[in-house]
Amino acid sequence: MSDLIGSDSKRFRLYSEVEIESGNASVWDNIANYGLFHLVHLAFRAS
């Protein structure tokens, strides 16, 4: 399960970097989205 979460995390980070570079999303949007994503990870880990 932790391997799956880890790979999803990398995929998300890649997506965020592409979004920032292309200018489709602001840096703050990406930080907020990543924060939300991280909370989901913590919830998965806790269960």
Span 6-24, pLDDT tens digits: 566 666 666 656 655 555 5
Half-sphere exposure of 11 (CA within 13 A, CB side): 6
CB 4 within 8 A of CB 41: no
What's the rounded mean pLDDT across residues 15-34?
A: 66
* Residue owning tokens 């990398």: 10
- More confident call, 32 vs 7: 32
Name the H helices within 1-47. 2-22, 27-46
What's the rounded mean pLDDT across residues 23-33?
A: 70
Residue 45 and residue 22: Cα distance in Å, rounded? Answer: 32
- More confident call, 9 vs 5: 9
pTM for this prediction? 0.32
Does pLDDT of 38 surpass 50? yes
**Which helix (H) or strand (E) element contains residue 47?**
none
